[in-house]
Amino acid sequence: MLGPQVWSSVRQGLSRSLSRNVRGWASGEGKKVDIAGIYPPVTTPFTATAEVDYGKLEENLHKLGTFPFRGFVVQGSNGEFPFLTSSERLEVVSCVRQAMPKNRLLLAGSGCESTQATVEMTVSMAQVGADAAMVVTPCYYRGRMSSAALIHHYTKVTRIGLIVHKTRKQDFQVLAGSAGFLMASYALGAVGGVCALANVLGAQVCQLERLCLTGQWEDAQKLQHRLIEPNAAVSQWQQGRGVGGVGSLCPHWSRTQGWHQAPLSLFLSENPLREHPSVGTPCASQKILTLDKVRHY
């Protein structure tokens, strides 16, 4: 948490910072950020001593940067943000900003349990390079999160700009939350997606995006059908083993993850989907879920 003096200094520079990093969302002037495109939710690699492995994080970003993604999502559930300190959350955003291609967008999860902490974290993430913020709903006091409480919370935060999940307002852009229904989302007006599958099948997810945008719906439908099974395998693995599931896919696909923060399993060596029809032979050294069946896509 930022101290009073630091927060006072940050607040004085708020307008200038957010105008630069959030491209006009802070004051409501100028063009809003166009978030159309595909975003992989980036995992956070850890060392065996539970420290963020920034070297491996940069390595992953360089490899993911070879795909035509619109940008990257950090500090989502795949990034294990609840297990990071405030300083680590900011350092991860800064590291990703420096490692990723300059023409890509960086969407950062800045949600905290209190409104004030969320505002401070959002401002700080903008200052270290985030282009837009995603704010998770406070949930610790879930029974007290009435409509009035949430309206107050998001009204305070939206004064500096953010991406709101599950909104019905028509002037918002919508991103699909999974590659499993990406084509259907495009058909209904979505402008892109945050797809965990893009971490391991980035070229295929981007190809599906191109087919939808160019109106090649028949080919898009065929590719979407082929991606449903591996996407379901990723989702089932993730649900069964927690957020570390996606991270555990990374080593086999030239991305590095390895360890996870406790109390998650420090290393996910057991694979409940080993016999799944869309899963190939596990890596001998790490027994990691593989998706050899979709290599030819």
Could you read off the pLDDT of 63-101 as tens digits, one per residue? 999 999 999 999 988 888 888 999 999 999 999 999 999
Query: Is the pLDDT assigned to residue 14 strictly greater than 80?
Result: no
Nearest to 152 by CA among 179, 116, 184: 116
Residue 161 vs residue 292, higher pLDDT: 161
Q: How many Å is the maximal CA-CA distance in the chain?
A: 58
* 246 in Cβ contact with 76 (< 8 Å): no
Within 10 angstroms of residue 36's Cβ, the number of other Cβ atoms is 14
* 176 in Cβ contact with 185 (< 8 Å): yes
Instruction: Give CA separation, 223 vs 29, 45, 179, 205, 229, in Å.
Output: 40, 30, 11, 9, 11
Query: Is the pLDDT assigned to residue 201 strictly greater than 90?
Result: yes
Range with lowest mean pLDDT among 42-56, 212-226, 254-268: 254-268
Alpha carbons 118 and 164: distance in angstroms, whole number: 14
Instruction: Give CA separation, 279 vs 35, 78, 289, in Å.
Output: 33, 21, 7
What is the pTM assigned to this prediction?
A: 0.75
Site of tokens 């391991």: 200
User: So what's the pLDDT on residue 97?
Assistant: 96
Strands 71-74 and 37-39: unpaired
